[in-house]
Amino acid sequence: MQSTLAKINEQKEKLTHKLEELAKYLKGEGKTFQLDGEDESSSKTAQQGKSEQEGVEKEIEDPITEYRRSQVKAAMQHAWSSYEKYAWGFDELQPQSRRGVNHFGGLGATIIDSLDTLYIMGLQTEFNKARDWVAENLHFNKNYDASVFETTIRVLGGLLSAYDLTAEKMFLTKAKEIADRLLPAWDTRTGIPYTTINLDSGRAHNPGWTGGSSVLADLGTEQVEFIGLSQRTGDPKYKQKVENVIKQLRKIFPKDGLLPIYISADNGQPTTGKITFGAMGDSFYEYLLKVWIQGNKTEVVKHYREMWEQSMEGIMGLVSKSTPSGYTFLAERSGSTLYNKMDELACFAPGMLALGTEGAPPEKAEKYLTLAKELTRTCYNFYMSTPTKLAGENYQFYDGQDMQVGTPWNILRPETVESLMYVWRKTGDSKYRDWGWDIFQAFEKQSRTPTGYVGLRNVRTGEKDDMMQSFFVAETLKYFYLLYSPSSVIPLDKWVFNTEAHPLRIIPRVDEPISLEDTPEGKDSSMQIKSGSTQYLRQRRINPGGR
């Protein structure tokens, strides 16, 4: 009886909160408040079973969702105008110091990372200004040791996405320019790339802190962009480099599909036993699935899906439960020892699992979705369990204590919001939108300053840092916006997001399967693009929908 009452009260509080938001929104629109419609949560619950099974109808627009979307758009406007005012042309904004800093070689990372977000949100004037900056001021001849991975996912990915959305050739030309400067990083004994390259001289190397090895999440998270570039230019050289890497990894791919985070570019062998879905492992697994989706799930890319499914068998061996509350989390592993620690970064995994249900046999799909939902609950609780309602960088799980913040900072990361977006689109369960709203409000309360958004040095105390990371505009705000948009905006059967949330259009992949065996020449003669692939360049004019 008591628990029923508690539930009713909780529901009442939720509804009251929603009505308050609705009233605020209607007032802003100059309308009066009327309580004569069906409540959102009840109509959504009615849909829910249907949409989970069939993945259909969850497009009903309601004023609360519209209001939330408008708030996210306003957040983007605030982030953008602060950057514009204090850091224009720099990579990132330091809101408290009111100045710009260059952590990516001075390539205007925030501008490039913002292009598609501005476009999708319909912020045309802002987009035009960003586009003009790229056309006139973006040059890559910098004497700067750049991260091949970061430059690929932010700069190359951002430019390709802008090209796909607008069909403006200039973006593709710039994309090709930066990719050409990155390519020497793959000139190693095995073809596994070094992590760092000087953009001017083309000299590449691995840093000391990896013990001279390459990093799994770097070398395995460049495929979507370079394959995409080959598709759009008709030049196979880009995809040849990155697909050879997967071929090398197949040679050491273990039964459980989980690879250690350091791999030697000299001999292709792992140099550590550490396995994680968090930092330095994460997006390798994401790209196995996404290259398969990008390749139209065809024969050419079948081995990516097979590898991904193998890894998803392996992931089950990392799944653990906290006590006393039974939160599901992904442990880390070193050799055969499990460590009860999970990075917030690993919170991309529920989204990936939800996305991967497409194309899986029913039993597996159910397993993936169940795990996705359980992990989403845990990641949401990473946020809600702290005094600021923002998640720490990682969590330790101790017996009897559930989750405890480990590294206490929050740098405006997107992974949990990303997963909420995917799981919402998959299930149509409005609770994921509500969870996202709780997180969005925490960012508004803790991270918004008059001069942009900052992270927190400590999620327990709320002490602020001085950095608006470019992925906040590329990913966090974009995924929030999509969480409150109909799923016809950037539909997942037509677009695939790179790991920096830059959507690339899924276009026909018409080349032959890559030879997975070594030929005597050590080359894949089969990796030639046939002429049909460039047809897309002539056909396309994109409407992302719903703008």
CB of 148 to ligand DMJ, least distance (A): 13
Reduced to 3 states (helix: H, G, I; strand: E, B; else coil), residue 347 is helix
Q: Does residue 283 belong to the site contacting ligand DMJ (CB under 6 A)?
A: yes
Q: Measured from the CB atom, is 300 or 467 closer to ligand DMJ?
A: 467
Beta bridge partners of residue 263, listed in sequence order: 214, 270
415 in active site: yes
Q: Report the alpha-carbon distance of residue 10 to residue 13 in Å, rounded.
A: 5
In 10 A of CB 287, how many CB atoms? 26
Q: Report the alpha-carbon distance of residue 435 to residue 450 in Å, rounded.
A: 25
Reduced to 3 states (helix: H, G, I; strand: E, B; else coil), residue 45 is helix
CB of 195 to ligand DMJ, least distance (A): 14
Instruction: List the catalytic residue out of 40, 116, 150, 434.
Output: 150
Q: Does residue 131 belong to the site contacting ligand DMJ (CB under 6 A)?
A: no
Q: Does residue 126 belong to the site contacting ligand DMJ (CB under 6 A)?
A: no
Instruction: Looking at residues 456 to 495 of the shown chain, list those that interact with ligand DMJ (rule: CB under 6 A).
Output: 471, 475
Q: Measured from the CB atom, is 233 or 311 closer to ligand DMJ?
A: 311
CB of 345 to ligand DMJ, least distance (A): 6
H or E element at residue 402: strand 402-405
**Residue 417 corresponds to which tokens in the numbers above?**
């919001």
In the set 82, 357, 499, 533, which binds ligand DMJ (CB under 6 A)? 499
286 in active site: no
Binding residues for ligand DMJ, total number by CB under 6 A: 9
In 253-299, the DSSP E strands lie at 262-263, 274-275
9 half-sphere exposure, CB direction, 13 A CA radius: 6
Q: Report the alpha-carbon distance of residue 149 to residue 283 in Å, rounded.
A: 11
CB of 361 to ligand DMJ, least distance (A): 28
Site string for ligand DMJ, 327-366 (x = CB under 6 A): ------------------x---------------------
393 in active site: yes
10 in active site: no
Which among 145, 79, 136 has a CA at the least distance from the CA of 110? 79
Tell me the DSSP string of 84-119.
HHHHTTSSEEETTTTEEE-SSSSS-HHHHHHHHHHH
Q: Does residue 453 belong to the site contacting ligand DMJ (CB under 6 A)?
A: no
Q: Measured from the CB atom, is 307 or 391 closer to ligand DMJ?
A: 391
Show the CA angle centred on residue 377, arms to residues 422 and 455, nearest 5°: 80
Q: Measured from the CB atom, is 153 or 353 closer to ligand DMJ?
A: 153
Q: Measured from the CB atom, is 214 or 499 closer to ligand DMJ?
A: 499
In 10 A of CB 222, how many CB atoms? 29
Write out the catalytic residue numbers. Answer: 150, 282, 393, 415
Q: Contact residues for ligand DMJ (CB under 6 A)?
A: 153, 283, 345, 413-414, 471, 475, 499-500
